[in-house]
Amino acid sequence: MNTTVYSTHKFEEHYLIQANNNKHQLILLDVRLTEETAVLAKGSKTVSLFTGDDASKNVLKKLKVIGVENIALRSAGFNHVDLAAVTELDIKVARVPAYSPYAIAEHTIALILALNRKLVRAHNRVRDMNFSLNGLTGFDLNGKTVGVLGTGKIGAVLVKILYGFGCKILAYDLEEDKELKEMYGVRFTDCQTLCSESDIISLHVPLTPETRHIISAEQIERMKKGVMLINTSRGALVDTKAVIEGLKSRKIGYFGIDVYEEEEGLFFEDHSDEILQDDVIARLMTFPNVLITSHQAFLTNTALTNIAETTIYNIDCFENGTVSGNEIKTK
């Protein structure tokens, strides 16, 4: 099956080719799907999209006109797809529901440790032959209270890692996980209590209309002074402007993110020769207690292999007219 793969990055190309094993004609494009680039999918029944591709109604209409019937997402999240439009246009959509919860959870821990022990600052100092320890004091994770917002696959793995550090763990989820309560001493509570009692807060819920800006100015006001806030889930879970005010007032002592609510067109690309136009993230980058990675939490060999293999499997099922189990229900 001819498949146009949008937003193909060098880091994933090898994995896609290997997983495909010459089964499908993959047309690998390094451009994002937009209204202007939709025409490049002419001749393909399937397109494969990454997180930054535009699958809004107008774009989907253009894809439908040129014969596209299926979308194979290379991600678990699908908030960039207009589900009402794919239903109306009768376009099938499949995703990669799980590729490596360990990758995301481990990157979360990396952000926590790097911020706490000020590893970036320490590394830069040593490179400048400055071996002073002043200003590098951190805290023991052991005994700290960590609030985990969302205890799905990723949140559950994070809980188990934090348990090994000797942390006290609070959690918020629509469904309480019995195993986490009984084996890891997790106390499930409401979002407000979690925010007010936690030393560290980590976000692992999906982005929905209900969870958008779940971390708001109101929630930040409830938090402990000097709280550490980590987001490796979806950028719009956090009201970034409210976080900036929290950083300025020192209410937020540490902020680590791998996602950003306005990351489309910014993350995954090299802008080193350009003038940064986003004033919000530019302001974030001025804080010494902020650590930003550009949506790389998933970037492990295991995750990339699983994403590629599941994507090709979904395309196989589209071609054969079989159910993959990874379809997004749009009705």
Of residues 32, 80, 107, 234, which has the active-site annotation?
Answer: 234
DSSP 8-class letter at 203: E
Whole-number CA gyration radius for the chain: 21
Q: How far is CA 315 from CA 53, 61, 141, in A?
A: 18, 21, 44
Asked about 222 being catalytic, the answer comes back as: no
**Type of residue numbered 273:** D
- Rounded to whole angstroms, how far apart are CA atoms 161 and 274? 39
Asked about 80 being catalytic, the answer comes back as: no
Asked about 234 being catalytic, the answer comes back as: yes
Of residues 263, 269, 274, 327, which has the active-site annotation?
Answer: 263
- Rounded to whole angstroms, how far apart are CA atoms 320 and 94? 14
Which residues, in sequence order, are CB contacts of 194 under 8 Å at separation 6+?
147, 149, 170, 171, 172, 201
- Rounded to whole angstroms, how far apart are CA atoms 317 and 166? 45
> Are 237 and 213 within 8 A, CB to CB?
yes
> Are 296 and 304 within 8 A, CB to CB?
no
Tokens matching residue 135: 């200003």
Of residues 95, 107, 204, 295, which has the active-site annotation?
Answer: 295
Catalytic residues: 234, 263, 295
